Amino acid sequence: MSSYGSINAIAQELGRIRESDPESTLYGVWNAILSFQFPVSEGYITRPQDEHTAQSGEKGSSDLHTFHYQGNSSTADKFLIVQCKRAGYETRSSVWAEGVDQFCRYLSSTHGRRRPSGRSPVYGIVAVGNYMRVYRYDDVSQSVIDWSPNSRKLKKGKVWNLEENYDETQLILDHIRDNH
């Protein structure tokens, strides 16, 4: 499979992201990346603004939530949430922390009550402008932790530039696709 960076429309949109753009600009870019990486023809669906209800009854919605219907299954494997934040806030640690807090709540409400035998990896990406950071849900602590598919090659907790780090971010997305 080729890289999302080889798709002209995605490359053009990544190059056009500006600080003045609304957050929804990133929804479009990420929807395209996720649709390329996780094709509907292979059983994947990405839901925008997917609603989650916490045990406390508090509701929220993740920006993009990707599911996989394997084979002829009527049950979807919910394995990836992407939280988007507008460009211009890449250096604000509070914006990254807010994204992590949001999908930690969503992942806990969606996956926190899973049976230990039914646990498969669940991932989260916080995307701020052209940058992303990757996490994995930890079932034991019901929290998210910095994650990398290969910590020797791809440092955990690193912020990746979607334009400059095509190869690395593609490896991350490939691993998520192949290991959920």
DSSP letter string over the chain?
Answer: ---GGG-HHHHHHHHH--TTS-THHHHHHHHHHHHHHS-GGGTEEEEEEEEEE-TTS-EEEEEEEEEE--TT-SS-EEEEEEEEE-TT-TT-HHHHHHHHHHHHHHHHHHHTT--GGG----EEEEEETTEEEEEEEETTTTEEEE--S-TTTS-TTPPEETTTTHHHHHHHHHHHHH--
The arithmetic mean of pLDDT across residues 78-88, rounded, is: 94
Q: What is the pTM of this model?
A: 0.91
Report the number of distinct structural domains present in the chain: 1
Percent of the chain at pLDDT exceeding 70 = 90
pLDDT at position 151, please? Answer: 74
- Residue-number span of the structural domain to which 104 is assigned: 4-178
**CATH number of the CATH domain containing 127:** 3.90.1570
